[in-house]
Amino acid sequence: MRYADEFREGVIAQGLARAIAAEASSERRYRFMEFCGGHTHVISRHGLEDMLPTTVRMIHGPGCPVCVLPTSRIDMAISLVDRPDVILCVYGDLMRAPGSQGRSLSRAKAMGADIRMVYSTLDAIQIAERAPDREVVFFAIGFETTTPPTAVMIRHAEKKQLRNFSVFCNHVLTPSAMQSILGSPDVDNVGSVEIDGLVGPGHVSIIIGTKAYEFVDGFGKPVVITGFEPLDMMQAILMLVRQVNEGRSEVENQYSRAVTREGNLRAQQEISDMFEVRDLFEWRGLGFIPHSGLKLKQGYAQFDAEMRFALHEQRVAHNPACECGAILRGVKRPADCKLFGCVCTPETPIGSCMVSSEGACSAHWSYGRFRDHSRRQAP
């Protein structure tokens, strides 16, 4: 597979692993958070942890859109599909995301709700065109990567004068969340963990550019914007080790084949034309973060499902035994949670980190849990 195999070459990986081992000091610890769920997935799927020295620890961050979506937003979507006239279009991962009281969209579908899994935003437009007597709602979710496609979709709906189409907007902003983590506030008493550097998002940065992270200067932590192939990740870790060793805290761009300092200006324009920043948005595990979510501007209110169906967010308590919050903040590891692998598995997720394959718990369960046992067996 061209343009992928080149970035998965084991021999080059071994070379990078040797360089990391040689340059990482045995006198100190390197705690790097990969913000993005895509990176968590890459680390787990290719077994990267086995190739790092024990002094380098990867902390899985909150950058999985399904994982950080609070229960209340899932509940709002479920209340939407209770209406018989609504067709809800979702990306597949969302189907199993847990709402309150054991509910999920998957269960709602089994009980007769009309929920369609789509692969692209344009599928939702097609569904709306074919069902003019139904209300078609797109469950928009994701960071800056998936926001421009939502904007394009709304443009299409506008052009086609679709009167039966709207968007349930849950788009969130990466820099705000990153700032919240670097500020290390102790949310819900789960504690906080010291982070020595960040593996910055790749796809998000294609849109917003490396410039968007320059605020981290103030936190004195290095950031390396990184691609999604395993060799990208190994190189990024080496770059972070070097920055830490040299006492630098810069925004570096490992993913230079795709990311520029300015980003995709047209996509940025489209986002700012159509969306505005919410005062407050709830993130699972991070709590309410100011200026971290997007909603449609007043001029696009007809496409805003929250306005159209008068949806209201009701705060619900998460399962108190679920450690997703602490795991998303890197304070705990998946295996530290009492529910992990017992009642909470990818088949029956209790916490959102177990839902998407990019979630820390799901990735650990599916790819890495053998290490828990080898650790225990070790003298």
Partner 1 sequence: MRAKSYQSKLDVRNGFVELRHGSGGRAMSQLVYSLFHEAFGNDWLARGNDQSAFGVQTGRMVMTTDSYVVSPRFFPGGNIGFLAVNGTINDVVAMAGARPLYLSASFIIEEGYRLSDLKTIAGSMGEAARTAGVNIITGDTKVVERGKADGLFISTTGIGVLPDGLDLSVDNARIGDRVLVSGSLGDDGITIMSKRQNLPFQSGLVSDTAPLHDLVAVMVTAGGSGIRVMRDPTRGGLAATLNEIANQSGLGFRLREEIIPVKPTVAAACELLGLDPLHVANEGKLVAIVAPETADAVLAAMKAHALGCDAADIGCAVEDDHQFVQMLTRFGGERIVEWLSGDQLPRIC
Rounded Cα distance, 313 and 310, in Å: 10
| Piece in contact with partner 1 (CB under 8 A), picked from 116-124, 157-165, 261-269, 327-335 | 116-124
| Amino acid letter, residue 271 | I
Rounded Cα distance, 114 and 162, in Å: 19
Number of Cβ within a 10 Å radius of residue 23? 13
Selected from 20, 24, 58, 66, the binder of partner 1 by CB under 8 A is 66
The least distance separating partner 1 from the CB of residue 59, rounded to whole angstroms, comes to 18
Rounded Cα distance, 252 and 250, in Å: 6
The verdict on 4 binding partner 1 (CB under 8 A) reads yes
Output DSSP code: residue 281: E
Residue whose CB is less far from partner 1, 14 or 314: 14
| Piece in contact with partner 1 (CB under 8 A), picked from 73-81, 176-184, 318-326, 341-349 | 341-349
Selected from 26, 27, 50, 320, the binder of partner 1 by CB under 8 A is 50
| Piece in contact with partner 1 (CB under 8 A), picked from 218-226, 235-243, 321-329, 350-358 | 350-358
Residue whose CB is less far from partner 1, 338 or 373: 373
The least distance separating partner 1 from the CB of residue 143, rounded to whole angstroms, comes to 8
Q: Residue 325 is inside which H or E element, if any?
A: helix 324-328
The verdict on 291 binding partner 1 (CB under 8 A) reads no
Output DSSP code: residue 221: -
Rounded Cα distance, 44 and 47, in Å: 5
The least distance separating partner 1 from the CB of residue 338, rounded to whole angstroms, comes to 19
Rounded Cα distance, 102 and 91, in Å: 20
The verdict on 185 binding partner 1 (CB under 8 A) reads no
The least distance separating partner 1 from the CB of residue 185, rounded to whole angstroms, comes to 27
- Cα-based distances in Å from 325 to 142, 191, 332, 339, 348: 18, 10, 9, 13, 18
In Å, how far from its chain's centre is CA 210?
A: 18
Q: Residue 58 is inside which H or E element, if any?
A: strand 56-63
Residue whose CB is less far from partner 1, 222 or 368: 368
**Residues within the interface to partner 1 (CB under 8 A):** 1, 4, 8, 10, 13-14, 17, 38, 41, 44-51, 65-66, 91-96, 106, 117-120, 123, 141-143, 145-146, 203, 230, 345-347, 356-358, 365-370, 373
